[in-house]
Chains A and B, each alone.
Chain A
Amino acid sequence: MPQVRVSTTINGDAVSYLCEVDETLLDVLRDRLGLTGSKEGCGTGDCGACSVTLDGRLVCSCLVLGAEAEGREIRTVEGIATGDTLHPLQQKFLEFAALQCGICTPGFLVAAKALLEKKPDPTESEIRFGLAGNLCRCTGYDKIVRAVQAAAAEMRKG
């Protein structure tokens, strides 16, 4: 099967790659571009560990084809920090011990960032439902929710 040539933007950088027609964006990120921050937990869009944003919209990259990235803008966990400065969400996740094994953390950070961009002052319930597409098996979500609340408060201060 012939491969497809794709030109796209990832975390602000122009990127170009060849991929199979039926290859997922997740596999392209991990296996072709070396961006292993996004994880495969299920491959069927049920766990959110592969979360990225596509033109600002939160998606499971295991459900997006590599070819669909043509001309779009993709943001992954690797693009959340600015240089050596962590984003408030990353900082609060660390301070609040909102991660244990850390496998779900990239997905949560991408999803939480997307949530706060839409809702800068979410209630606890809005945070819980907004993050319901991301599975965590270690934390029971308590410290994740608190970290997101703290990050939101800090981001509102500007």
Chain B
Amino acid sequence: MPLDANLDPRTHVFKVVGTRPLRPDGVDKVTGRAKFGADANAPGMLVGKILRSPHPHARIRAIHTAKAAKLPGVKAIVTREDFPNSVDASLRDVHYNVMAREKALYDGHAVAAVAATSAAIARKALKLIEVDYEILPHVTDVDEAMKPGAPILHSDMITEGVEPAPTKPSNIAGRHEFGHGDPEEGFKQADHVIERVFKTEATHQGYIEPHACLASVGSDGTGELWVCTQGHFMVRDTCAALLGMDVSRLRVTASEIGGGFGGKTTVFIEPVALALSRKAGRPVKLVMSREEVFRASGPTSSTSMTVKIGVTKGGRITGAFAELRFQGGAFTGSPVVLGAMSAFACYDLEHVKVVGYDVVTNRPKQAAYRAPGAPMVAFAVESVLDELANKIRMDPIELRLKNAAKEGTRSSYGPKYNRIGLIDCLEAARKHPHYKAPLGPNQGRGVSAGFWFNFGGQTCVSLNVNIDGTVALVVGTPDIGGSRASMCLMAAEELGIPYDKVRAIVADTGSLGYNDISEGSRVTFSTGLATISAARDAVAKLCARAAKIWGIPADAVTWENGHAKPSGPNAGNFEPLSLEDLAKKAAKTGGPIAGHYEVNADGAGVSFAVHLADAELDRETGRVQIKRYTVVQDAGKAIHPSYVEGQFQGGAAQGIGWAINEEYIYGKDGRLQNPGFLDYRVPVASDLPMIDTVIVEVPNPGHPYGVRGVGETSIVPPLAAIANAVSAAAGVRMTQLPMSAPRVLKTMDEAKRGSRRR
């Protein structure tokens, strides 16, 4: 649904959109009343626990559960036998990941599960389950997994996208190529060409709330599931398929969610909890421990990347090439395709080619992490651009401005761009006081641009008018960023009533039509658009109701400032009727008044950002500290500016952790060495400065108010911005993340010995 023809969001005076009211779920969250995934209980509830493979790669010859079943208090045990033998191709990998089939494919892979009357008994029961493993050789590094002779995970994996197709299986699920023109031609036109190899380690979304659910299946096969998730409709449909239930027999309620960032856009423990509950005939609560979250939910890929870019002395990029090697854990689906598509998305290029390899390794199945694939490739591309800018002695923002994509540019991933805000962000960053602020000793400044898509998707909204003129707004997308507040603002804006007269809830799967997952920065755009449309539908019905009351035609009534009024003096001389008046009269004038809208939303625009980072290096220890950070990002139209700023700052903080500290460390034994917050070190309050934000608003032509989704783009620039800052401070190019103290020292030592240059 496009921007209103009569509404220029840059000059239109909104009544409530753009203000900063308190969020509707706020009081519950500051008093401890809000209920998250692990906060629900049911009478007769059992505790579920999962037995996980300690081996990174092993054939499961047999699972003996008899001893465990005899333990008093154990009410159900499930293994691969309790799941279907085969499922739809689209569910095959999820099915295998949720409960191991022939093999355990990573340290932490679920092998069996029990439900018992207490956690202590459940833990004891797990110890009594005997699994007969045949240990196989394993591989956890992406480059190692691609080599001939590497241990093979899937005997039927033949690399896609290679002509002719290989005759032998490998760990390379696919080869994907994007771009246009011929980079080799482009490099011939360049004055300077730089080629570098970069490596990043796997990281986790790091949500503070572990996966948790409460499953209850009755003997008639109907089930209820309470779960923290980014998409309860997806959970319903996936679990129903895996358990052989009709979709209508399973009702899923989304709890408040304690962080997701993409890691809760799939299922891990939910089908297991339902299977246990069905077998035991009692509710089962299953909660992951923090260690399980790290070992067995969905971190993002570790990567190895080669990037080559050529520029003229005048700063024009003439050719760009990248080869990306991403491992996505034990199943196909690393975000290498998205990475390949977004790698050069910020630039207007005649010759660009990106080749991506999707590789499997003995690690947990990856899940989406906020702009999947994009942060890593931006790290590589923006680092090379930084080096080129230094080479031709050009200001880094100037170099980017000279090549920036704009409306009409052919993107590196295929389509031409509509109206976009990259140049606006670059100019705002250049003007920002941060850019000119003096730097101290051992400090460096880095710049990075970044891009992410925005998606639409299936969305349903219902808007019901209550008897006192207040409004009940029913949405189906879990609130992961403050969206309930934004929906109330948009509904209040359309209806012309105060913000606090609208109350939004996230309905369960039985109460509303299908809603796609809260992902892809889509909620404020899609659910917002649907909310605006549902409100307009309600307004049309309110006007029709007033018309009936007055005995005039429906098109002779307009809606203004929360009131129905005759549209002109010819329509009649009637006192305006407020929403409250109409609501009070509703029962006697035709019944309840409601608006609704069901859509597969389209028209999402893309969101660009530019980040500035100042880093200080301690040359003795290699420690990097972030001294100053500024986020400049295009939001299209900020419905609730505080929550837009919150997304900017949160994404930046995750990027900072990814750049400096966070990494999955695997031992030679293929086991995860640091599955806890002590050794998987995310940023704490004392690690970060204040994070300044600039909201740029270049309206998205595809949304009635111009909204662009902002949730993901903010994690794309930080890796490069900080690497560029540290490279400047150290005088040596950083090509490996995270830039932990030991790695920084090693890099600087190598440079001193002459093997590296900045």
State the A residues within 8 Å of B (CB). 20, 30-31, 35-44, 46-47, 49, 76-78, 80-81, 86, 90, 93-97, 99-106, 109, 124-125, 127-129, 131-146
Cβ-defined contact, B688 with A141, below 8 A: yes
- Choose among A35, A96, A104 the residue with the greatest number of B CB atoms under 10 Å from its CB: A104
Residues of B within 8 A of A132 (CB): 684-686
Number of A-B residue pairs at CB separation under 8 A: 177
B439 at the A/B interface (Cβ < 8 Å)? no
Rounded to whole angstroms, the CA-CA distance of A140 and B653 in the bound complex is 5
- Chain B binding surface, main DSSP class: loop
A129 to chain B, nearest CB (A): 5
| Residue in B28, B643, B676 whose beta carbon sits within 8 Å of that of A100 in the complex | B643
Cβ-defined contact, A46 with B259, below 8 A: no
Rounded to whole angstroms, the CA-CA distance of A38 and B34 in the bound complex is 11
A8 to chain B, nearest CB (A): 18
Cβ-defined contact, B30 with A41, below 8 A: no
| Residue in B208, B676, B688 whose beta carbon sits within 8 Å of that of A103 in the complex | B208
B135 at the A/B interface (Cβ < 8 Å)? no
| Residue in B28, B29, B32 whose beta carbon sits within 8 Å of that of A35 in the complex | B32
A32 to chain B, nearest CB (A): 11
Cβ-defined contact, B31 with A37, below 8 A: yes
B690 at the A/B interface (Cβ < 8 Å)? yes
Residues of A within 8 A of B691 (CB): 140, 142
Cβ-defined contact, B31 with A90, below 8 A: yes
A51 to chain B, nearest CB (A): 12
Which are the 6 A-B pairs with shortest beta-carbon distances? A37-B32, A103-B258, A102-B29, A140-B653, A97-B642, A140-B649
Residues of B within 8 A of A36 (CB): 32, 35-36, 38-39
Rounded to whole angstroms, the CA-CA distance of A125 and B257 in the bound complex is 30
B51 to chain A, nearest CB (A): 18
A124 to chain B, nearest CB (A): 8
A101 to chain B, nearest CB (A): 5
A1 to B, closest residue via Cβ: B120
Rounded to whole angstroms, the CA-CA distance of A46 and B261 in the bound complex is 21
| Residue in B22, B210, B646 whose beta carbon sits within 8 Å of that of A138 in the complex | B646
Cβ-defined contact, A78 with B685, below 8 A: no
A111 to chain B, nearest CB (A): 10
State which residues 12-48 of B face A: CB under 8 Å.
20, 22-23, 25-36, 38-39, 41
Knowing A36-B32, A143-B646, say if A103 contacts B209 (CB, 8 Å).
yes
| Interface bits B637-665 vs A (CB < 8 Å: 1, else 0) | 00000110110011011100000000000
Rounded to whole angstroms, the CA-CA distance of A31 and B66 in the bound complex is 30
Cβ-defined contact, A145 with B207, below 8 A: no
Knowing A86-B27, A101-B257, A129-B686, say if A138 contacts B677 (CB, 8 Å).
no
Residues of A within 8 A of B120 (CB): 20
Cβ-defined contact, A145 with B208, below 8 A: no
A147 to chain B, nearest CB (A): 10
| Interface bits B208-226 vs A (CB < 8 Å: 1, else 0) | 1110000000000000000
Cβ-defined contact, A44 with B290, below 8 A: yes
> What are 21 of the A-B contact pairs (CB < 8 Å)?
A36-B32, A40-B210, A44-B676, A86-B27, A100-B480, A101-B260, A102-B29, A103-B256, A103-B259, A127-B685, A128-B685, A128-B686, A131-B685, A135-B208, A135-B677, A139-B646, A139-B653, A140-B649, A140-B653, A141-B684, A143-B645
State which residues 283-318 of B face A: CB under 8 Å.
287, 289-290
With A41-B677, A81-B31, A133-B684 already in contact, 16 other A-B pairs whose C-beta atoms are closer than 8 Å: A41-B258, A77-B30, A77-B31, A90-B31, A97-B646, A100-B650, A101-B260, A102-B258, A131-B684, A131-B686, A132-B686, A136-B685, A140-B649, A140-B652, A142-B688, A143-B642
Residues of B within 8 A of A106 (CB): 30, 32
B165 at the A/B interface (Cβ < 8 Å)? no
Residues of A within 8 A of B205 (CB): 137
Residues of A within 8 A of B259 (CB): 101, 103, 137-138
B482 at the A/B interface (Cβ < 8 Å)? yes
B314 to chain A, nearest CB (A): 38
B640 to A, closest residue via Cβ: A97
Rounded to whole angstroms, the CA-CA distance of A133 and B685 in the bound complex is 8
B206 at the A/B interface (Cβ < 8 Å)? yes
Cβ-defined contact, A41 with B676, below 8 A: no
A64 to chain B, nearest CB (A): 18
Rounded to whole angstroms, the CA-CA distance of A131 and B22 in the bound complex is 24
Knowing A97-B482, A109-B30, A141-B653, say if A39 contacts B208 (CB, 8 Å).
yes
Rounded to whole angstroms, the CA-CA distance of A75 and B682 in the bound complex is 27
Rounded to whole angstroms, the CA-CA distance of A124 and B210 in the bound complex is 30
Please report the total number of B residues contacting A with Cβ < 8 Å. 57
Rounded to whole angstroms, the CA-CA distance of A37 and B31 in the bound complex is 7
Cβ-defined contact, B32 with A38, below 8 A: yes
- Choose among B25, B32, B261 the residue with the greatest number of A CB atoms under 10 Å from its CB: B32
A110 to chain B, nearest CB (A): 10
Cβ-defined contact, A99 with B642, below 8 A: no
Cβ-defined contact, B290 with A135, below 8 A: no
Cβ-defined contact, B258 with A142, below 8 A: no
B476 at the A/B interface (Cβ < 8 Å)? no
Cβ-defined contact, B207 with A105, below 8 A: no
Cβ-defined contact, B210 with A41, below 8 A: yes
Knowing A20-B120, A145-B690, say if A49 contacts B208 (CB, 8 Å).
yes
Cβ-defined contact, B685 with A46, below 8 A: no
B683 to chain A, nearest CB (A): 8
Rounded to whole angstroms, the CA-CA distance of A132 and B677 in the bound complex is 13
| Interface bits B41-59 vs A (CB < 8 Å: 1, else 0) | 1000000000000000000
B444 to chain A, nearest CB (A): 21
Cβ-defined contact, A137 with B654, below 8 A: yes
A31 to chain B, nearest CB (A): 8
B678 at the A/B interface (Cβ < 8 Å)? yes
A96 to B, closest residue via Cβ: B642
Cβ-defined contact, A42 with B685, below 8 A: no
Residues of B within 8 A of A134 (CB): 684-685
A26 to chain B, nearest CB (A): 11
A62 to chain B, nearest CB (A): 10
Rounded to whole angstroms, the CA-CA distance of A121 and B683 in the bound complex is 25
Cβ-defined contact, B30 with A90, below 8 A: yes
Residues of B within 8 A of A94 (CB): 22-23, 26-27, 30
Residues of A within 8 A of B690 (CB): 124, 142, 145-146
Cβ-defined contact, A102 with B27, below 8 A: no
Cβ-defined contact, A103 with B677, below 8 A: no
B124 to chain A, nearest CB (A): 12
Knowing A103-B36, A105-B30, A137-B208, say if A95 contacts B22 (CB, 8 Å).
yes
B457 at the A/B interface (Cβ < 8 Å)? no
A92 to B, closest residue via Cβ: B30
Cβ-defined contact, B643 with A97, below 8 A: yes
B481 at the A/B interface (Cβ < 8 Å)? yes
A146 to chain B, nearest CB (A): 8
Rounded to whole angstroms, the CA-CA distance of A99 and B258 in the bound complex is 11
Cβ-defined contact, B34 with A102, below 8 A: yes
B118 to A, closest residue via Cβ: A20
Residues of A within 8 A of B27 (CB): 86, 94
Residues of B within 8 A of A99 (CB): 26, 29-30
Residues of A within 8 A of B22 (CB): 94-95
Cβ-defined contact, A100 with B481, below 8 A: yes
Rounded to whole angstroms, the CA-CA distance of A144 and B33 in the bound complex is 20
Residues of B within 8 A of A143 (CB): 642, 645-646, 649
Rounded to whole angstroms, the CA-CA distance of A103 and B480 in the bound complex is 11
Residues of A within 8 A of B209 (CB): 39, 41, 101, 103
State which residues 220-267 of B face A: CB under 8 Å.
256-261
B487 to chain A, nearest CB (A): 16
Cβ-defined contact, A104 with B208, below 8 A: yes
Residues of B within 8 A of A102 (CB): 25, 28-30, 34, 256, 258
Rounded to whole angstroms, the CA-CA distance of A146 and B691 in the bound complex is 11
Residues of B within 8 A of A49 (CB): 208
A145 to chain B, nearest CB (A): 7
Residues of B within 8 A of A129 (CB): 685-686
